[in-house]
Amino acid sequence: MINKKTDEFIGWTGLHFITESINNHKGFYDLGYRLLKRFWGQDFATESAFASIDFAFNKLNTSEIYAMADIDNETSNEILKKVGLNYINSFDYKGVKHNWYKLTSSEYEKKKYKSEILNKICYTNLVYGRINKKLGVVLSKDQIEELILSIIKETDESGFYRKGKNIYIINDNRNIRLTINSNTYRIITADRLIKKTTNR
C-alpha cells in the first residue's frame, strides 16, 4: 500500500488465500493488514480493509471471508469489528491466543444496505402524509424523518432484506416495516406489522 500524496510505502493489506488449516478451516480468504508504525491511527488499515472486503464479494464473488487478530491487539480487533466482521471464537495460533472473525456475502449485503440507506435516504412530499396515515400518527416532516432514521439505526442487519426493486426493513421492537426503493433510496412507506415476521 502506497500513500498517494507522498509515494511512501505504508505497509501491506489485502486478502490471502489460505490453504493450510487454521482454526479447523482451510481453503478460505483471510483479510489482513500490517502497516509501518508511523502510519498507525490514520485510518489506512480501516480504509484498505473496506476496499478488500468490497473486492472479495464484488470481484472474487466469494461467499465468505475470515480474519484473525491477536487477542491483546485491541486496535486490530476494533478495526475488524468496525469494517463489519463478526467475532466467532478465540483459539490458539502458534502459541498465541487469537480472535477469529467471519463475514458472509449475505451479511455484507445487509450491512451495505444499512450504510448506503443512511447516507442516501431521501423523501418526496407525498410520503409524509402516507406515513402518518399508515402509522396512525400526526407528525411533522422533521419528526417523520427523525423517526425513520431512528428505525434504520436501531434495526439489526438481519432485519434488512431485498425483494425486487425494494429494500424492506423490519423493526420488531417498534412493530414497523419500512419500504425503500433500492435504486434511489427513496422512502416509499412505513407500515405497522400485523404480526411478528419470522420468515424473511
Q: For residue range 132-163, what is the model confidence (pLDDT) as tens digits?
A: 999 999 999 999 999 999 999 999 888 998 89
DSSP letter, residue 38 = G
Are 101 and 68 within 8 A, CB to CB?
yes
Are 193 and 177 within 8 A, CB to CB?
yes
Q: What is the pLDDT of residue 12?
A: 86
Q: Retrieve residue 105's grid coordinates.
A: 456475502
Centre a 10 Å sphere on the Cβ of residue 45 and count the other Cβ atoms it contains.
Answer: 25
Q: How many CA atoms lie within 13 A of 162 on its CB side?
A: 16
Q: Retrieve residue 83's grid coordinates.
A: 469494517
Go through 55-70 and write b for each residue having 16 or more CB atoms within 10 A of its CB, e for each that does not. ebbeeeeeebbbbbbe
Q: What is the pLDDT of residue 199?
A: 53
For cell 486490530, the residue is 76
**Average pLDDT value for residue range 63-90:** 94
DSSP letter, residue 22 = B
Residue 34: pLDDT band by 50, 70, 90 thresholds?
confident
As a whole number of angstroms, the distance between CA 105 and CA 58 comes to 9
Residue 197: pLDDT band by 50, 70, 90 thresholds?
very low
Q: What is the pLDDT of residue 43?
A: 80
Are 100 and 88 within 8 A, CB to CB?
yes
Rounded to 5 degrees, what angle do the CA atoms 166, 198, 191 make? 45
Rounded to 5 degrees, what angle do the CA atoms 75, 77, 80 make? 110
CATH class of this structure's domain 11-105: alpha beta
Are 31 and 65 within 8 A, CB to CB?
yes
